[in-house]
Amino acid sequence: MPDAEPPATPLAHVMYFEPRIPGNTGSAIRLAAVTGARLHLIEPLGFDLSEAKLKRAGLDYHDLAVMDVHPSFDAALDALPTSRVFAFTTRATTRYTDVEYRPDDILLFGPEPTGLPDDVLAHPRVTGPVTIPMLPGRRSLNLTNAASIAVYEAWRQRDFAAP
């Protein structure tokens, strides 16, 4: 595939807080490439970025996605000082569909086994926690499935216009 210029304004900023599973991050790279979202990874990562599972899940989309790696949550937020931050958690009561998304919004997701820690959810920059409804008794969705649902809702609200 030919190299593509990143959109001047991303569809949204997808932020993975300390992701641990390389296949999920590879799938998020693919999600960013096909939607124009910008992917942000917050260290420490639970894998090496050259890991085969990450590359396999991202297929040949790595050159079409825009991705940044940040040494900490605060550093990531400092890079996006005016962005609203929507923290996705099963503990929220506001549904992801109740938000009117803007192109500079951050869609924040926690690590696969635990979700976002309390100190991140309570961070003063977090605009609000949001949830994706599930059947009772279910623990969580796959990380990139959840990010995909949120990104496509943000894009749907823009009538799927190119970023």
4 has a pLDDT exceeding 60? no
Binding residues for S-adenosyl-L-methionine: 110, 132, 140
- Listed in sequence order, the residues at least 6 apart from 81 whose beta carbon sits closer than 8 Å to its beta carbon are none
pTM above 0.75, yes or no: yes
Q: Residue 8: inside a domain, yes or no?
A: no
Q: Residue 126: inside a domain, yes or no?
A: yes
Average pLDDT of span 66-95:
96
- The answer to whether the CB of 25 falls within 8 A of the CB of 68 is no
84 has a pLDDT exceeding 70? yes
17 has a pLDDT exceeding 60? yes
Helices (H), the chain: 22-35, 52-58, 73-79, 118-121, 143-157
Average pLDDT of span 109-119:
95
Q: Residue 163: inside a domain, yes or no?
A: no
From residue 71, give the alpha-carbon distance in Å to each of 17, 44, 133, 146: 11, 7, 31, 24
What pLDDT score does 54 carry? 63
Assign residue 40 the CATH number of its domain: 3.40.1280.10
Binding residues: 110, 132, 140
Cα(29)–Cα(45) distance, integer angstroms: 15
Q: Give the model confidence (pLDDT) of 51-68 as tens digits.
A: 676 666 555 677 788 899
Q: Residue 4: inside a domain, yes or no?
A: no
Q: Residue 75: inside a domain, yes or no?
A: yes
- The answer to whether the CB of 11 falls within 8 A of the CB of 104 is no
Average pLDDT of span 118-134:
97
Tokens of 1: 């595939």
DSSP state at residue 98: G
Q: Residue 1: inside a domain, yes or no?
A: no
Report how many domains make up the chain: 1
Cα(2)–Cα(85) distance, integer angstroms: 32
Q: Residue 113: inside a domain, yes or no?
A: yes
What pLDDT score does 108 carry? 98
- Residue 79 lies in domain: 13-157
Q: At what angle do helices 143-157 and 22-35 cross, to 10 degrees?
A: 10
Q: What is the mean pLDDT of the chain?
A: 90
